[in-house]
Amino acid sequence: MSKFLSVNDFVVWYEKVPGKVKSDVEAFLMDPINSVFIVEDVPGSLLLNPVKTFCWEKPVGGFFKLNTDGYFKMFADGSFAGGCAAVVRNHLGEFVCQTEWVLPFARSSLDVKFIGVYLGLLQCNTLGLRKMIIESDCKQLVQVLNSSLVPEEAELKEYRHLFKVLASFDDYKILHQYREGNLVANELGVNAMALCQGLAQPFEEN
């Protein structure tokens, strides 16, 4: 997701960028190709180029945001472990729900991320949420859901189920989000995979 920022907004945004990605942002800002960022150092002046955001942001009023993630691991003995998670927040940034699912039947990383979106949307439907922004850090999945093109390795029937669920909402947008902006779903997904291996306790929020 990208946006245009005022100078003041950019300063606020930049302070939130995690340290591990700040070096990339600094390099981006110093690149001559991107040197036309700030036109005037006054409130309300716009950056001429869009800036990628690495932070979770509240959805616009009337929408709920669903963040999902999933993890998959294959072992030397041929066994699998998978897990996914979904986190739903409202336009105030308040938690509506968060859930983990253990997926011992998953067979790929794309599988667990797909199932995370599907189960997350079913949960939103059950809660009666009608307008959704869906974020995932899997670019391939986001491209598939926005284009309705099913990957060759995927089960066509499974994707038809997901598209049917999407069609039941009044409005929705599917966006790619960097992992740094998807941290809660990321941690829950890791924990769900570990639960599948029998190595973790249920996640407790501090």
pTM above 0.85, yes or no: no
Which has more pLDDT, 141 or 50?
Answer: 141
Residue 46 pLDDT: 39
Residue 61 pLDDT: 86
Res. 149: pLDDT tops 70: no
Res. 67: pLDDT tops 70: yes
Which has more pLDDT, 41 or 70?
Answer: 70
Res. 55: pLDDT tops 80: no
Cβ pair 53, 14 in contact under 8 A: no
Res. 146: pLDDT tops 50: yes
- Percent of the chain at pLDDT > 70 equals 65
Residue 60 pLDDT: 86
Query: Strands, DSSP E only, in 53-170?
Result: 64-74, 80-89, 95-102, 131-136
- Percent of the chain at pLDDT > 90 equals 33
CATH of 64-197, one of 3.30.70.270, 3.30.420.10, 3.40.50.970, 3.30.300.180: 3.30.420.10
Res. 200: pLDDT tops 60: no
Give Dmax (Cα) for the chain: 62
Residue 87 pLDDT: 96
Which has more pLDDT, 47 or 111?
Answer: 111
Residue 42 backbone phi and psi in degrees, to 5 = -135, 150
Residue-wise pLDDT for 103-129, tens only, equals 988 888 888 999 999 999 999 999 999
Beta bridge partners of 132: 64, 172
Token pair in block for residue 33: 């190709």
- Listed by start position, the domains of the chain span 2-52, 64-197
Nearest to residue 75, comparing CAs of 201, 202, 199? 199
